[in-house]
Amino acid sequence: MGSTTAQSSKRTVTDDDISSLKSLLASTKAAVLTPQDASYAASIKRWSNAAEKPAGVVVVPTTADEVAVAVKFAADKGIDLAVKGGGHSTAGVSSTHGGLLIDLNTGMKRVDVDLDKKVFLIQGGAAWGDVDQAGVKHGLATVGGTVADTGVGGLTLGGGYGWLSGQRGLAIDNLVECTVVLATGEIKKASAQENPDLFWALQGAGQNFGVVTEFVLKAYDQGDVFAGMLMYPPTPENIEKVVKATNDLYTPDEHGKTKVAGRGAGGIAFARPPPAQGQVMLMAVVIYFGSEAEAKAQYKALYDIGPVVDTTATVAYPVINTVLAPPIGLRASMKGTAFTMPLRAGFVEEVRREYTAFTDGNDDTGISLVLFEVYDPSQVVAHDAGSFANRGWHLNGMVCPIWTKPEHDASCRQWARDLTALFKRELEDQAKQAGKGVDGGVGLKGNKGATMLYGNYDQYDEKSRDIFGDNYPRLQRLKAQYDPGNVFNKLFAVTPQA
């Protein structure tokens, strides 16, 4: 059935493998690195130290053809294969212990803008910050992640929510074409017109089907944005007011419309922000695609509460993907969850108590974050592209413990499990009160049979069928066609079945 991180039956590399690989790539610009090479450490570096593993050998390609050589070599030899795009996954799925790592992030992160076709051409190792910077020069943007150092590849192939989702849907809804290296070493184009079955699979379950070396994404006109944080002491009174203001802005009416529509996005968070990581704060994230005057009128209720810190300002578009950026190089994990609007203030207060107790009880966890993401979901629901099965009126939450000491690994992940269990209970209670499943499904599954969890927010215990729902059988058939040897098996692995 598959799990978050498959237990691969593939083997590790040998000295003979490394020699053979160097010979195969000797006439190319690709680098082949071992632990003795100075550049090796940077290639296995990840956003979370807890996700790092010692690869047996690293290939740093510069072209799709070089990627193809490495993929085919691993497939033919039965070697465990991992691919690093942005290296942001905290589940370790872009790492391998002793296998072959393809590091796209070092040598394949170019972003070009085709102004005539109004698209981005993005190499597979680019991060969203690279896309933002390329686009802002031309007043353009696309649906990307909410943190600049997240990789384009992992986020897009898993669906891709971003601050622009309220206007443009998911990243996969704006995907025009992919160049993908298959397990055989073949390089194929995939689009709605060319290899459409493969394109469908890549739009949500892409990590199972190959290495995408180029993404073509639609570009949209985008000017400056009003964005930042409003911070409050986390008193029950303030929580009630922030929740009410957020509900008023983002709860869909009977026609599926929200007051803020696609012009606003943001969230509610609990954190201990810098500089001291001392006091727990209630934070309202404000993202508004309009003028400061319009934003302050729209979010008036949040300003009227009286934030003790206000970082909101008109900023260039790339800045909004730094609003929630945690530091790089610590130990971190993510556990996704879901909720529906309207939020219940008593539930948010319960989350605050759990966050405070956890971070009070361990001073190594002060940078941890709990986030309720809010936006208008109507455009996500309106599209139906690809194998992604988690569309709906529900929204995404994230529990992100961050710590420094390996001895806290287990307790931090368990806390994330425990806290997301509260979100699940709240959804179950809402379903019982409504007398029906959330989002037109049954219980906590949506109308496509998938558990309401965003796969890109690392899930510890869920199976592939939970994430892909009713799309799983079709994915199994396509897996048997494109990767029968299960070379690509790191994240929510699909079992091939003809």
Q: Which residue has the tokens 């799709």?
A: 64
Angle between helix 196-205 and helix 472-482 axes, rounded to 10 deg: 120
Q: Is residue 284 part of a domain?
A: yes
Question: Cβ-count burial of 114 within 10 angstroms (0-12 exposed, 13-18 middle, 19+ buried)?
Answer: exposed
Cα separation, 256 vs 252, whole angstroms: 5
Q: Is residue 2 part of a domain?
A: no
At which of 175, 190, 222 does a domain end? 222
Q: Is residue 469 part of a domain?
A: no
- How many other C-beta atoms lie within 10 A of the C-beta of residue 442? 12
Same domain, 167 and 234: no
At which of 423, 440, 457 does a domain end? 440
Q: Is residue 446 part of a domain?
A: no
Q: Is residue 59 part of a domain?
A: no
Grouping H, G, I as helix, E, B as strand and the rest as coil, residue 221 is strand
Instruction: Encode the chain (498 residues) as per-residue pLDDT tens digits.
Output: 444 544 468 999 999 999 999 999 999 999 999 999 999 999 999 999 999 999 999 999 999 999 999 999 999 999 999 999 999 999 999 999 999 999 999 999 999 999 999 999 999 999 999 999 999 999 999 999 999 999 999 999 999 999 999 999 999 999 999 999 999 999 999 999 999 999 999 999 999 999 999 999 999 999 999 999 999 999 999 999 999 999 999 999 988 899 999 999 999 999 998 765 689 999 999 999 999 999 999 999 999 999 999 999 999 999 999 998 878 889 999 999 999 999 999 999 999 999 999 999 998 999 999 999 999 999 999 999 899 999 999 999 999 999 999 999 999 999 999 999 999 999 989 888 877 666 666 657 777 888 888 999 877 788 999 999 999 999 999 999 999 999 999 999 999 997
What pTM was estimated for this model as a whole? Answer: 0.95
CA 40 to chain centre: 25
Angle CA(140)–CA(141)–CA(147) in degrees, nearest 5?
A: 145
Q: Is residue 456 part of a domain?
A: no
The domain in which residue 255 lies consists of: 225-315+334-440
Report which of 46, 45, 56 is spatially closest to residue 18, judged by C-alpha positions.
56
Same domain, 164 and 284: no
CATH of the domain at 187: 3.30.465.10
Same domain, 217 and 231: no
Same domain, 390 and 306: yes
Same domain, 205 and 297: no
Same domain, 266 and 394: yes
443-464 in b/e form (b: 16+ CB < 10 A) is ebbbbbbbbbbbbbbbbbebbb
At which of 222, 244, 264 does a domain end? 222
CATH of the domain at 341: 3.40.462.20
Same domain, 349 and 405: yes
Same domain, 426 and 377: yes
Same domain, 160 and 240: no
Amino acid at 168: R
Q: Is residue 268 part of a domain?
A: yes
Q: Looking at the 3D structure of the chain, how many domains does it have?
A: 2
Same domain, 275 and 310: yes
